[in-house]
Amino acid sequence: MPDGEELSAIARLIAGSSPVALGSVGGVAEGPGRKPFSLMGTLGVVASLAVVSACLTILFLAMRSVMDVGGFCAEGGPYVIATPCPKGVPGLMLGGIWIGIIAVFVYRWQASKAEAASLVMLFWPALFLSLGWNFLEYGVSPPFDGGLAWGWLVPGVLFVLMGGIPLLWAVPEMVRRDSRPHNLVGAALREGVAASRQFASERRIVDAPFQEEGLVDELERLARLHRRGSISDSEYDSAKRRLLEGR
């Protein structure tokens, strides 16, 4: 099969085509494409994101349930339990942690496969800011004793910092990474400039007066394409005549 350069040059000699029309013939890129819409891919992204959100919500509410009984509780074991945990909360917290971790990986995989904007960088801030809010709220208004609960206020400030600082970095990074229209326009402009430069360069070669050696090389390449059956007899005669007339 002829290479892209040969087909591009011969197609221009025969038809005088523009560089856009040669995209499928000479290998010139026609610009970046987007992956077709996939219903299953979209459902995978939405479902996994919903599971992550549900797990974050469960952890947030389960933590509040524990803090309502003083911030610590126990369940099971041979000893007498002073403060039992609210019913079902230990299982919800354990399930929320592990199912949430698995859901994050599934969501990241589905978003990458569907070429969707990823929200993974928001999960860490969402977790620590929500738990930090619980610490701060209950630290200011403890459920039993009056006054400030510094044992909750201090971790509340730490959790807010642990979630807020990454959030300040994550949002600009997500805007830069996932602004698809901007990326598509920029890539299309770069492709267009490259194609125009290639076309101008080849056009100068075609339009310039042929030296004897260059003409022989072009005729030999044209004959080689004709022998391969890449161009018909009429196309071969037309291209050969254009080469000879361009001397």
Domain range spanning residue 149?
A: 39-183
Please tell me the total count of domains within the chain. Answer: 1
Determine, yes or no, domain membership for 176. yes
pLDDT at 246: 67
pLDDT at 177: 77
Are 120 and 108 spatial neighbours (Cβ–Cβ below 8 Å)?
yes
pLDDT at 157: 96
Are 135 and 163 spatial neighbours (Cβ–Cβ below 8 Å)?
no
H or E element, residue 223: helix 212-228
Q: Is the pTM of this model over 0.85?
A: no
* 3-class secondary-structure state, position 17: coil
Residue 49: partners with Cβ closer than 8 Å, 6 or more residues away? 107, 119
Determine, yes or no, domain membership for 192. no
For the chain, the distance separating the N- and C-terminal CA atoms, rounded to the nearest angstrom, is 28
Determine, yes or no, domain membership for 9. no
The helix, strand and coil proportions of the chain, stated in percent and rounded to the nearest 5, come to: 70, 0, 25
pLDDT at 98: 96
Tens digit of pLDDT at every position of the chain (247 positions)? 445 555 455 445 444 433 433 333 333 334 444 566 688 889 999 999 999 999 999 999 999 999 998 888 877 767 767 788 888 898 999 999 999 999 999 999 999 888 888 899 999 999 999 999 999 999 998 888 778 889 999 999 999 999 999 999 999 888 887 665 545 555 556 676 677 666 665 555 445 544 455 777 888 888 888 888 878 888 888 888 887 776 5
Determine, yes or no, domain membership for 232. no
Residue 65: partners with Cβ closer than 8 Å, 6 or more residues away? 86, 89
pLDDT at 35: 62
Determine, yes or no, domain membership for 6. no
pLDDT at 182: 46
For residues 174 and 152, give the distance between their C-alpha atoms in angstroms, rounded to a whole number: 32
Determine, yes or no, domain membership for 72. yes
Determine, yes or no, domain membership for 147. yes
pLDDT at 27: 39
